[in-house]
A and B are shown apart, each in its own frame.
Chain A
Amino acid sequence: MTERSGEEAGSAGEPDRERRFVSIGTKLGLAVVLVVTLATALTFVWFSRRERDALVDSKRKAAEMVADLFAASLGAPLDFGDADAVQSEIENLKQNRDVTFAAVWPTDAAEPMAKFAGGGGPTSVVREPGTRVRADRVEVGRTVIGGAGKPVGSLAVVFSLAPENAAYRQNRTRMLWLSLLFAVGTMGLLLVVSRSQVVRPIERLLRAVRRIEKGEREIHVEVSSNDEIGRLARAFEEMNIAIADRERRLAEVNESLRELFDHMRQAIVVFDREGVVVGAQSRQASVVFGRERLEGQRVRELLYPGAGSWDAELRAFDEWMQVAFEAPAEDWDAVASLAPPAVRLHDGAERVLTLEFRPILVADPVERIMLLATDITQQKLLEREVALQGERHARQMAAMRRLVSGGGQQFVGFLDAARERLDRALELATSGAEVELNALNEVFGQIHTLRAEAKSFGLDELAGRATSVEERLGVLRAGAIAASEKTLRVRDAELASELGAARALVDEAERLFVEASPIGRAVLEQINVRRPDLARLCELALAQGGEIAALAERLSARTLGEIVASVGERASGWADTVQKRARVEVDGREVLVPERLARVLGGVLAHLVRNSIAHGIERPEERERLGKPPIGSIRIVASQGSGAVLDPTIQIEDDGQGFGENTLLRKLSDQRARLDLGAVHHGSFRPDLAGPSTDLEGRGVGLAAVVRELAAVEYAIEVSRTEAGGAQFSLVPARGAAGRGAA
């Protein structure tokens, strides 16, 4: 048997399929008929020849015997030259019906002495002694010996073979029929055996193969024989079981791979050197590439859907794939560095995928490649949006800070005027009432001014909206002028929408302005005045007492935000010096602080914040161990008193570890007790008890000074703990505080 290579088999496959199908049963049948017919024919010929030879041989022997007797009987007549006696012997010989010719010659005579030639026999024969068998007769020649033992003549006798030939023909016909009967029987038997023992089992195997081809695996082939076909069937079943087992294990591996892939939350597919996706894929892959089933798909179609063959990125990928599958393992890193790092998919919305290629090596070179794709669209959008927002916010904050540093009065005036102008324009755009062209011109002029002002304050977006409104109003105005109309009705949804957006931008500008201001919303109510004038006015008014004195106190007051600004900015620097991280949050920046308290409050707050950083806030690693954010928080919360006199309450609290080893403060904080000079001088805050410490921690004298300074402006300090255990100091008016003095 000759084996062909796959390629040869493939190339010859098509003509094979086109050739007419001839079953093995037919071939076996034809072979059986041919062989049996040939064998029967040969047997028949051999037997029939043997039969004829036997008949002729018998005749020949009989003829020789008769001729010998005839020669013996002629010895005396020829010795004496008795022709009558010779004739008489011939007459006796004629009694044998098989004799068709007889002749007797004396010695040296050319003509026979006596002769008999029957009808249908020969008229002359060879005179030589011997026996000659012809097709239809047997010729026998003999020498006649006389009494003296000398030859006296010769004879020839011919015997007909007609009876033998007739018998032979009859026998041959019978043998022919018998041979045919034997041949047909043999053929039938062989065909039945070959069909049941060869053709049918092979057909069953073939059907089983077809079912396996269709994906069926639970197949049993019924072959009970123990011959080669039986062995083939059993080998087939074993092969089928092995295939099913291998497929099951492959499916298990695929499932495990899929689960692994799914956990990786990446689109993962594997492709072969044809660029076709094979085997398992991650669930994310279906989502990212938007196709339920990826197996059998071309990876180039997934990465560059709809790209033309000229597409530069697709061509680069095709070329890379060709090199990647030829590259030896040690060159993979170099090849992988030239793979596409990312692709943009344009299926509806643009999506960005980062790509990573990893080799799957069974042998050198790479057999398959794993593609890991990560959808970073949202990340990119977010980055872009954050960058844009950051830029916009920075621009606006810079503009606001410039304003605040120069006094916000002008900007607040702009905001109020802008709202008024926009409201006026909005009314015009939505009322549908008939308006004078002059009124439209006036609104146009106001929006034009608004645009210029917005531009001057760095509010580019608002200026852009104002430009759109201006253009729209310009179109309306031009239409009215062209129609020579002095009045017109305006009902313009697009214009109203633009005005609404501009109004929202004004509100947003105000929000940012307040956010940028160290004194919060109070900035909206401030006016610029000369401080010496104000101080003198307050001095005079306070001397008057009553309502005017209260008003003077308010006028001379400063906002908490103003006082606390520098503390907030310096807190992170203080924390850095002791390897800690902290930030200050202020709630109530607009709370008014009376001038007498404002004089000491900056120093007091600076001390308490430094105190929190030094003793309360833990180091970042310690905070993380405790489950806290690494950056410590110090909150300054202020609330305005409800009476006519300004008496704000200010709390300073942190999310640190509380008062630590300071037992007195711990004890006081349990009772929310007020610290007074007595407590200070009792020793709790004495320098010698505070012990040596860092520059930030101080030597314990600071808090005593705080108590003293606050007392001088009729304020007291209470100590307590937050719910989370952090330290809390409250600055309260001394006359209204309900705290209990420390022992």
Chain B
Amino acid sequence: VNDVAGRIVVVDDSWIILEQIRLSLSSRGYEVRTTTGADVAAKLAKSCDLAIVDFHMPGLNGSELLGMIRRSLPAGTACLFYLYTSDPDQAARYEQHGFDGAFLHKGDEAALGPQVDAVFRTIRLRKLASQMRRERRM
């Protein structure tokens, strides 16, 4: 998180949805990359802070896709993986699916922005907390 609010990769099977999400999150200052494929997603995730992954995709679900992406990522990659769904039940099972968290209200771009903001606030908060702990020890 440097000159931009954060780097995000979005994985979905619909280009229309990807474009809507890109427009919505770009207007909030994020650098957004979009893709429909796992291979490209894995490459992009290496340099991103957050990956937003759709659950229902033709041929495979978000959990399987995430498994494919994670397998091809080098150890220690800092990217967080969030499930994007309109189904609260799926969202509640994000850990079972291997995700770090979940975004709800898929299709409502106005609702996605605050949720993404919350994740990036948490990323910055963790850095700040660890810095505070270091200073306390010194």
Contacts and interface: CB of A to CB of B under 8 A. Distances in A.
Nearest to B83: A310
B128 A312 contact: no
Contacts of A316: 118-119, 121-122, 125
B125 A342 contact: no
A289 interface: no
Nearest to A317: B118
Interface stretch (A95-103, A330-338, A580-588, A682-690): A330-338
B109 to A, nearest CB: 13
A338 B115 contact: no
A339 B121 CA distance: 8
Which DSSP category, helix, strand, loop or mixed, fits chain B's interface?
Answer: helix
A312 B129 contact: no
Interface in A337-360: 338-344
Interface string A309-337: 11111011101100100111001001100
Nearest to B110: A344
B56 to A, nearest CB: 18
Interface in A561-610: none
Contacts of A308: 88, 91-92
Interface string B104-119: 1000000100111111
Contacts of B125: 316, 319-320, 323, 335, 338
Contacts of B103: 312
B111 to A, nearest CB: 7
A311 B88 CA distance: 10
A315 B120 CA distance: 12
A315 B132 contact: no
Given A310-B91, A338-B124, A328 B132 contact: yes
A335 B131 CA distance: 12
Contacts of A312: 82, 101-103, 115-116, 118-119
A146 B115 CA distance: 133
Contacts of B94: 310
Interface residues on A, range: 20 to 34
B128 A340 contact: no
A342 B118 CA distance: 10
B98 to A, nearest CB: 14
Nearest to B127: A338
Contacts of B111: 344
Interface string A415-453: 000000000000000000000000000000000000000
Given A311-B104, A312-B103, A312-B115, A319 B122 contact: yes
B91 A342 contact: no
Contacts of A341: 117
B128 A310 contact: no
B88 A313 contact: no
Contacts of A320: 121-122, 125
Contacts of A342: 114
Given A308-B92, A331-B132, A313 B124 contact: no
Interface residues of B, number: 25
A339 B122 CA distance: 9
Contacts of B88: 308
Contacts of B126: 319
Contacts of A327: 132
Contacts of B92: 308-310
Given A310-B92, A310-B101, A312-B82, A331 B119 contact: no
A310 B136 CA distance: 31
Contacts of B119: 312, 316
Contacts of B117: 341
Contact of B114 (A313, A315, A328): A313
A315 B91 contact: no
A143 B82 CA distance: 122
Contacts of B82: 312
Contact of A315 (B104, B122, B124, B128): B122
A385 to B, nearest CB: 16
- Counting chain A CB atoms within 10 Å of each CB, the highest count among B92, B116, B128 belongs to B128
A674 to B, nearest CB: 64
A323 B129 contact: yes
Contacts of A319: 122, 125-126
Contacts of B115: 312-313
Nearest to B93: A310
A645 to B, nearest CB: 63
B105 to A, nearest CB: 10
Contacts of B102: 310, 312
Given A308-B91, A310-B91, A310-B92, A340 B121 contact: yes
Which of A308, A316, A327, A343 is most buried by chain B, counting CB atoms within 10 A of its CB? A316
- Max chain A CB contacts within 10 Å: which of B91, B117, B118, B136? B118
Nearest to B104: A311
Contacts of A339: 121
Nearest to A322: B129
B80 to A, nearest CB: 10
Nearest to B99: A310
A316 B122 CA distance: 5
B128 A338 contact: yes
B51 to A, nearest CB: 14
Nearest to B101: A312
B87 to A, nearest CB: 12
Contacts of B104: 311
Contacts of B116: 312
Given A311-B104, A344-B111, A344-B114, A334 B128 contact: yes
A311 B128 CA distance: 22
Contacts of A326: 129, 132
Question: Which one of B91, B101, B114 has the greatest number of beta carbons of chain A within 10 Å?
Answer: B114
A710 B136 CA distance: 88
A316 B50 CA distance: 15
A344 B111 CA distance: 9
A343 B82 CA distance: 20
Nearest to A365: B132
A311 B94 CA distance: 10
A331 B101 CA distance: 28
A339 B103 CA distance: 19
Interface in A279-326: 308-313, 315-317, 319-320, 323, 326
Contacts of A310: 91-92, 94, 101-102
B132 A338 contact: no
B85 to A, nearest CB: 11
Nearest to A324: B125
Interface in B32-61: none
A358 B114 CA distance: 21
A313 B132 contact: no
A315 B126 CA distance: 13
A701 B33 CA distance: 70
Nearest to A318: B122
A327 B125 CA distance: 11
B118 A313 contact: yes
Nearest to B88: A308
Contacts of B124: 338
Contacts of B114: 313, 340, 342-344
Given A315-B118, A323-B132, 12 more contacts: A308-B91, A310-B91, A312-B115, A312-B119, A313-B118, A315-B122, A316-B119, A316-B121, A323-B128, A334-B128, A339-B121, A344-B111
Interface of B: 82, 88, 91-92, 94, 101-104, 111, 114-119, 121-122, 124-126, 128-129, 132, 136
21 contacts: A308-B91, A308-B92, A309-B92, A310-B92, A310-B102, A312-B101, A312-B102, A312-B119, A315-B118, A316-B118, A319-B125, A320-B122, A320-B125, A327-B132, A328-B132, A335-B125, A338-B121, A338-B128, A339-B121, A340-B121, A341-B117
* For the complex of A and B, 3 pairs with smallest distance between CB atoms: A316-B118, A313-B118, A312-B115
